[in-house]
Amino acid sequence: MLNHQTMDKLNALRLEGMAQALEEQRRQADISQLDFEERFTLLVERQWLWRENRALAARLHHAQLKVAASLEDIDYRHPRGLKRAQIEQLRASQWVVQHRNCLITGPTGSGKTYLACALAHQACRDGHRVGYYYAPKLFRELQNAQADGSLLKLLKKLNRAALIVIDDFGVAAVAGKQYRDLLEILDDRQGSGSTLITSQFPVDQWHEVINDATVADAILDRLVHNAYRLELNGESIRKSRATLNPNSKPPAD
């Protein structure tokens, strides 16, 4: 009876991890070999891990990453110009803490989206709030928000994220107004948040993509000077893997 009351109280206090660990301890025949402090330490550790895992799951759910990716699974063998040392610089998410940016460019199939999602996943693991946006959809959201009067709300949502990922920048034609909205987003985030952008176009071609010299200069000024840059090249990973194994699932770009 006492055990049931204790479990009920732990759950009512939202100490589910501790409750689970206590139940497991009760089933272990040799648990009595540990003294009170050792057993209590195990309970506290389980509660801490439970809370951390729950918080990570919430951050990943909010991020809505396109692919489930991790830095540990990055393929460095494919000749695309990616160096392990480049990723190691970014692994601890210190660049997010420092409000720096990351620009990943390269041809279709070079693994830009996977790298972006892996870095974003690591940022979530390190406790940062992340938002993933496919560039054409983000610009449509900005256009719709401008039309229905919710633009300020959307801008605040974007600014709350420690890191936002804008994937496939330049893949679709965008009206000039949306690029000015992007400039406002970047201006709001300067010194307070990080932005990761992937694009098939090299950074020195973004002026042509934006097609407005003044806006392009302002956007690049806020992105490039404090950014890590991963410039990929070579044959498509997707294409080479499909050639080797026609039945394999292609990786995200």
Q: Both tokens of residue 240?
A: 């080479």
Which residue ranges make up each domain of the chain? 2-61, 65-244
Question: Within a 13 Å sphere around the CA of 150, how many CA atoms are in the beta-carbon half?
Answer: 10
Condensed to tens digits (0 to 9), the pLDDT of residues 59-87 reads: 999 999 999 999 999 988 888 889 999 99
Determine the CATH number of domain 65-244.
Answer: 3.40.50.300
Q: List strands edge to edge, sheet with 130-134.
A: 130-134, 163-169, 194-199, 101-105, 227-231
Condensed to tens digits (0 to 9), the pLDDT of residues 109-156 reads: 889 999 999 999 999 999 999 999 999 999 999 999 989 999 999 999
